[in-house]
Each structure stands twice: as C-alpha cells, then as structure tokens.
Chains A and B, each alone.
With several copies, the nearest count.
Chain A
Amino acid sequence: MRFAILSFPGSSCDEDMVHAVLNIVGEGAEVVNHNQADLKSFDAVILPTGASFGDYLRPGALAQSSPAINSLKEFVKTGKPVLGVGNGFQILVEAGILPGAFLINKDLKFRSGNSTLNVENASTRFTAVYEEGQQITLPFAHHYGNYYVDKETAKQLKADGRIVFTYADDSHDGSVDGIAGVLNVQGNVLGMMPLPERAVEAIIGGTDGLPLFQSIIKNWSENNVSHA
C-alpha cells in the first residue's frame, strides 16, 4: 500500500508518520509537499500533526490556501481512505471535509500527555482490528483540542456511528460529548486528535496505535484482492 503523508509548511510531525508507516507498519509512505499535491497515485492520504502555518489565525485555517486542499477534496471523492490526526484533523474540519470546528482547550493551555479512549465503533475501515468498546491509550498534544459541533449534528453523528473514538478520561479539553475522532458520511475520512503514530512502538509510547494502521491495510487488501 502507498501512503501519501501530506505535509504543509509547519506540519512538523510528517516524518514521525512516515517512520510509523514505513519502518514499523511496513507499508510505502512518502511525504508529499503541499504545493505539489498530486495524490492520484496513492492508496491513502494521511494529514500529520504539527502546526501547519504556525497554527496562526485558527489551527488548520491557513492550510486552506494550499493547492493541496483541492487535490485532497478530489481524493476524498474517490472513496480511498484519508486520515487526519491532530492538526491534520483540524485541517480536515476547516476544509469542511469533516463536520465541526475546534476551540481553544477549556483551560486555555496547550496540553500533552496520554489519553484513554473508547473505541466507539470497531466496524469502520480504520478500526476493524480493534474490539468494539475496547479502551486504548494514545498520546495527544494540542492547544485547540476542544471539538465543537452543534447538538443536532452531535446527535446525528452518534446515530450514524460516525463517532469513532471518545475520551474515556478527563482529557477531552471540553470536546462535545467527549468526541475524540469522527468519520465523514461516506466513511472514508477519519479525523482524530489523539496521535496513533506516537503509539506504534513499545519503547516510545506503547502500541495501541498499531491496530489503526493495520485496519486500514486490512480493508485495502480485502478490497484489492476481490478486485483482482
């Protein structure tokens, strides 16, 4: 499988994602620059975390001026998987690809650490290798991790099974209904604030992020085997 790690100026954790996918998970991964942005040949796109455009104005906002956003929107339409973590999630939300918006953390401070998450939906292509209701631990690091959607939308998301992860502890930073990760309507785009790429090796932060990547790969190989 070939992953594009879509990097904007300031997306400082792009290399971390490449490392996770390429060296640990063992699939193809390369950084794609936001200016070049030909995504067609890739099987999946990941928007890594970091502070694209310095998080200025609103996190994820200024990335909307990059040519890559249009290619990304095209890519989303193909139905192939797109994952945005941390700042990558914020970019997806600002682009309108995922619902909601981000506010500053409830206590106004940048926060980092580990959060315990509930896997709310283990039947998505991003979570199939987890168990439904499983609790996992993933690192997080953000200043605007306070996810907002209006009540109606939240209800709808829940009804549609599009809330993929929720915070099981008090590390939600104010997020509506403790939402930590959501899916788009088609089910091929996942955004999440916790950072699975920081939890793929025991030496640095556990391995609870691994099944997420394995799920994507499993789904891909199933589809591609049936095509063959």
Chain B
Amino acid sequence: MTKVNVYVTLRESVVDPQGIAAKDALHKLGFDEVGNVRIGRLIELELSGTQAEIEERVKKMCEVLLVNKVIEDYSFEIGEVAGK
C-alpha cells in the first residue's frame, strides 16, 4: 500500500472563520509574530496501484468527493510506491 497525503486548503478568496479565530487566540496568548492563519485539511490515504494509476485516481477522488472546488483547492504528495 502506498501512502498519499492530500492537502486541502480554502481558496484565498474565501474567508476562513477557523483561521481567524486561531489567529486571534494566538495573539491573545502572546504570539504576536503570527500573521495570517488558514486551516485546511490533511487527508491521509493508503492505496494500491502504480505511481501513474495512483496519481490519476487520487485526482479523481479529490474532484468527486474529497474536495469541494467551490471553496477549496488541493494538492497531494505520493509516498514511496510499494511494489506489487
């Protein structure tokens, strides 16, 4: 099984209520050096297939289910592909 990390982030144009709250809280705690904070999702998948298959399939999963393209962007990283 190969590990794939999918990174889902809110689009820049979308206000991120969680990010704003986290930034405020960090400031309150004295972390004044913090500028923007954005909170996204990290989806860890395990799956089988060749590098090329995985790439194509993960892309599809993102488009179909894992990511809402109206508000979110994504990227992913494929770990070492396990032999079959």
- Is B35 in the interface zone, CB < 8 Å from A? no
Listed stretches B12-20, B51-59, B73-81; interface member? B12-20
Pairwise interchain contact A104-B18, C-beta atoms closer than 8 A: yes
- Is A155 in the interface zone, CB < 8 Å from B? no
Q: Which residues of B contact A108 (CB under 8 A)?
A: 17-18, 21
Taken together as a complex, chains A and B put the C-alpha atoms of A150 and B16 apart, in Å, by 14
Chain B interface, >50% SS class: helix
Q: A61-B65, A62-B25, A65-B65 are in contact. Are A146 and B17 (CB under 8 A)?
A: yes
Q: Which residues of A contact B21 (CB under 8 A)?
A: 53-54, 56-57, 62, 108
Q: A61-B68, A148-B71 are in contact. Are A103 and B25 (CB under 8 A)?
A: no
Closest to A107 in B: B17
Pairwise interchain contact A62-B71, C-beta atoms closer than 8 A: no
Q: Which residues of B contact A100 (CB under 8 A)?
A: 70
Taking the nearest CB of chain A, how far is it from the CB of B6, in angstroms?
Answer: 12
Find B68's partner among A56, A94, A106 (CB 8 Å cutoff): A94
Chain A interface, >50% SS class: loop
Taking the nearest CB of chain B, how far is it from the CB of A15, in angstroms?
Answer: 22
Q: A101-B68, A103-B71 are in contact. Are A56 and B15 (CB under 8 A)?
A: no
Find A64's partner among B14, B17, B25 (CB 8 Å cutoff): B25
Taken together as a complex, chains A and B put the C-alpha atoms of A105 and B17 apart, in Å, by 7
Q: Which residues of B contact A66 (CB under 8 A)?
A: 28
Taking the nearest CB of chain A, how far is it from the CB of B16, in angstroms?
Answer: 8
Closest to A94 in B: B68
Closest to B71 in A: A101
- Is B34 in the interface zone, CB < 8 Å from A? no
Taken together as a complex, chains A and B put the C-alpha atoms of A58 and B66 apart, in Å, by 9
Taken together as a complex, chains A and B put the C-alpha atoms of A99 and B69 apart, in Å, by 12
Pairwise interchain contact A56-B17, C-beta atoms closer than 8 A: yes
Q: Which residues of B contact A93 (CB under 8 A)?
A: 70
Q: Mark A99-120, 1 if CB is under 8 A from B, else 0.
A: 1110111111000000000000
Find B18's partner among A56, A64, A94 (CB 8 Å cutoff): A56
Q: Which residues of B contact A65 (CB under 8 A)?
A: 24-26, 28-29, 65
Pairwise interchain contact A103-B14, C-beta atoms closer than 8 A: yes
- Which residues A51-105 have CB closer than 8 A to chain B? 53-54, 56-58, 61-62, 64-66, 93-94, 99-101, 103-105
- Is A174 in the interface zone, CB < 8 Å from B? yes
A56-B22, A65-B65, A103-B17 known; 5 other A-B pairs, CB under 8 Å?
Answer: A57-B22, A57-B65, A99-B70, A103-B14, A146-B17
